[in-house]
Amino acid sequence: MYKSIQGLFIIGLSFICVLSIAQSASDPALLTLDRIFSDEFRPDSERPIQWIEDGNAYVTIEPSVSLEGADELIRYDSKDRSRTTFLSAESILVNDSSMTIEGFSLSPDRSRVIIFTNSSRVWRSNTKGDYWVYDLKTRSLKQLGASFEPSSLMFAKFSHDNRWVYYVHDFNIYKEEAATNEVTQLTNDGTGDIINGTFDWVYEEEFGKRDGFSLDPSDRHLAFWRLDASSTGIFYMINNTDSIYSRPIPIQYPKVGDEPSAAKIGIIELVSGETHWIPLAGGERENYIPGIQWVDDDLLLIQQMNRHQNQLIVWAYKPSTRALRKVYTEKEDTWVDIGYPDVSANNWGNNDLPIVDDGGSFLRMTENDEWRHIYKIDIRTGNKKLITPTQYDVASFQAATDKNAYFIASPYNSTQRYLYSADLLGKGQIKRVTPKEYSGINTYNISPNGKYAIHRNQSVNEVRTVHLVNLPEHSVIETIVNNREYGELLSTLDLPEVKFTEVTTEDGISIDVRMVLPLGFDASKKYPVLFHVYGEPWGQVAVDRQIGNWDYFMAQQGYVVIDMDNRGTPCLKGSEWRKSIYRKIGVINVRDQAMAAQEILKLDYLDNDRTAVWGWSGGGSMSLNLMFQHPDIYGTGIAVAAVSNQLIYDNIYQERYMGLPQENKEDFINGSPVTHAKNLEGNLLL
């Protein structure tokens, strides 16, 4: 106990010394803690957009020029980016007060706009709030659910005939006529335990699910999730920050080994109001439903996973006949991914299968062979065709047109990402679309017609830029965000050098390494080392994107900051690399990090006697395991939001990668930091 307290004191004292030195510096070329946690170094970014007219134009949120502090909607033509006001700030004044637009959606005929404002947080995101409808023809503004308490509606969306708006309130689904504000309640059993049209905490956290209902294109049927979380245990968080008296905050938190919430899909017949349930195979508490989507007026696809998450079934359901049939089954010895955790992935939680061939097929990324590939699956027969016959991984799917699939890959460098296209006939015609001058990480928001895209680019050497480009030529129509001022600000700093390299461990594993070198680096000197780690399937850290100000600050203080990615992380190095961590979290990833550290520490300018490691979440767990299992390498550790015992984390995440504790409890124990805590020798801050 004394040794631990003494160690924390040393860490705290060292931190105070660094803080004092940094904050007393008057040199504008040097960072301080106050500066890096202020808004001084905040790059510009684009506002959310909604493509309209099949992608030939888009609408976005911009600050009003005429009304200070207000927002308005602006329409841009995709071809020449000509600008017109779509909805002025003056049009949406409420009691003479301006409105902050946090989100918006347009009716299919673009005659009405839903405005989302005054939001409040639900779990990770602000998904509750107030919704207003502005009628562009009558120039009238009305609040939806006006009789409900403020900031209590979720996921308001128009019907396809522009007449109705559907939303969730207090775990039930409602519809409201846009013209008259007549409200009809569609489900009636919603409580804190019975959840209609949205999700519990763990579905949002691990599947990214929030919006839980969908209308068919003819507005005859509404499909929705219903979760029964009544058997889920309650975990109490303590709020001791907003009052002198603490209070418990209850959260439904299913731990490893606990049954999931019972999930089923209901179909509401919107003419009669009748609800029926789709009879999926298996118990409702032994399966997950991570996705549903309409293909046409009378065909719904449902994605169902078993409790182990190593089998995915895609079902097709016809509400008119209530016929259910199995379209496609995918199995793995490890786990099946639904949402792929990549730095290029867009819209996490949208697990829809891209529909192609006029509704006859869907696309699915899978890892059934050595690499992650895109397949086209026939909805009628279930036959699948390989679309990307490559010897490298697809990082993320981006969009599909009539002829092509757009995807992100990086065949020669796992730290970077680029846009490629493949023909949907599967003839192997793969083309790189991103021009060579855009190195680093490239991400895209592609228009529905596939002719235009919002292109974002950044690297360790270049600030983030955003362009409107045409496809497939990728010529720039206009620069939306150039971050020129931000780049000029960075140029006034003494910024350290960033370099990439690789090390090969004694196990023969090649590990990507990103190093931030100290100012005035001199290879003849010895420098302390700060390792930043994550190391689990949901994160890659050694990537070619802009370095965070914290890393720059530490390098200015004389540290070498190192990021490395072990097996089990989502690097583009093949399926075996990513899946080798199955049932071995806390074992194989920890060994890779430690063995890679041993190799990199052979560099003459790194001081083996002054090594520290830190990480957040999975990185916090990794930091603990490295401190406990390899005290000969790491002298100091900082673990933020660490999972010290895998048996008390949530069921969806931990069981996906570790199996069920009823079957292999020893694997959970062996990989948990708490098992090895007795071996601590260095300084540790939790």
Q: For 561-589, what is the mean pLDDT?
A: 98
Q: Would you list the DSSP string of 600-647?
A: HTTSTTEEEEEEEEEEETHHHHHHHHHHHH-TTT-SEEEEES--S-GG
Q: Is residue 582 part of a domain?
A: yes
Banded pLDDT at 18 (limits 50, 70, 90): low
- Residues near 38 by Cβ (< 8 Å), separated by ≥ 6? none
Residue type, 6: Q
- Reported as a single tens digit per residue, the pLDDT across 70-126 is 999 999 999 999 999 999 999 999 999 999 999 999 999 999 999 999 999 999 999
Q: Is residue 372 part of a domain?
A: no
Percentage of the chain with pLDDT > 70?
96
Residue with tokens 């009405």: 112
- Residues near 68 by Cβ (< 8 Å), separated by ≥ 6? none
Q: How far apart are CA 409 and CA 374, in angstroms?
A: 12
Q: How far apart are CA 101 and CA 50, in angstroms?
A: 14
Distances (CA, A) of 340 to 79, 314, 328: 32, 17, 19
| pLDDT given for residue 106 in this prediction | 97
Q: Is residue 378 part of a domain?
A: no
Distances (CA, A) of 86 to 83, 101, 157: 9, 13, 19
The residues facing 213 across adjacent strands are: 224
Bigger pLDDT: 265 vs 548: 265
| pLDDT given for residue 3 in this prediction | 37
Least confident of 343-357, 417-431, 520-534: 343-357
Supply the DSSP symbol for 126. E
Q: Give the CATH number of the domain where residue 639 resides.
A: 3.40.50.1820
Tokens coding 658:
């570790």
Q: How far apart are CA 209 and CA 202, in angstroms?
A: 9
Distances (CA, A) of 305 to 52, 67, 260, 368, 536: 34, 50, 12, 16, 21
Bigger pLDDT: 428 vs 667: 667
| pLDDT given for residue 25 in this prediction | 52
Q: How far apart are CA 19 and CA 554, in angstroms?
A: 11
The mean pLDDT of the chain is 94
Banded pLDDT at 427 (limits 50, 70, 90): confident
Q: How far apart are CA 635 and CA 679, in angstroms?
A: 12
Number of domains in the chain: 1
| pLDDT given for residue 15 in this prediction | 52
Q: Is residue 8 part of a domain?
A: yes
- Reported as a single tens digit per residue, the pLDDT across 515-545 is 999 999 999 999 999 999 999 999 999 999 9
Q: Is residue 423 part of a domain?
A: no
Q: Is 556 in a helix, a strand, or coil? A: helix
The residues facing 466 across adjacent strands are: 456, 481
Banded pLDDT at 7 (limits 50, 70, 90): very low
Residue 586: half-sphere exposure toward Cβ, Cα within 13 Å: 28
Banded pLDDT at 628 (limits 50, 70, 90): very high
Burial of 279 (0-12, 13-18, 19+ CB in 10 A): exposed
The helix (H) or strand (E) run that includes residue 148 is none
Q: Are 536 and 582 in contact (CB under 8 A)?
A: no
Q: What angle do CA 382, 388, 389 make, to 5 degrees?
A: 100
Q: Is residue 381 part of a domain?
A: no
- pLDDT of 651 higher than 50: yes
| pLDDT given for residue 364 in this prediction | 97
- Residues near 318 by Cβ (< 8 Å), separated by ≥ 6? 298, 299, 300
Q: Is residue 25 part of a domain?
A: yes
Q: How far apart are CA 640 and CA 620, in angstroms?
A: 5
Q: For 20-32, what is the mean pLDDT?
A: 70
Q: Are 128 and 119 in contact (CB under 8 A)?
A: yes
Banded pLDDT at 426 (limits 50, 70, 90): confident
Domain of 641, in residue numbers: 2-30+493-685
| pLDDT given for residue 13 in this prediction | 36
Q: Is residue 670 part of a domain?
A: yes
pTM: 0.94
Q: Are 271 and 222 in contact (CB under 8 A)?
A: no
Q: How far apart are CA 556 and CA 516, in angstroms?
A: 10
| pLDDT given for residue 11 in this prediction | 47
Helices (H), 433-548: 484-491
- What are the respective helix, strand and coil percentages of the chain, to the nearest 5? 15, 40, 45
Least confident of 5-19, 137-151, 248-262, 562-576: 5-19
- Reported as a single tens digit per residue, the pLDDT across 358-391 is 999 999 999 988 999 999 999 999 999 999 999 9
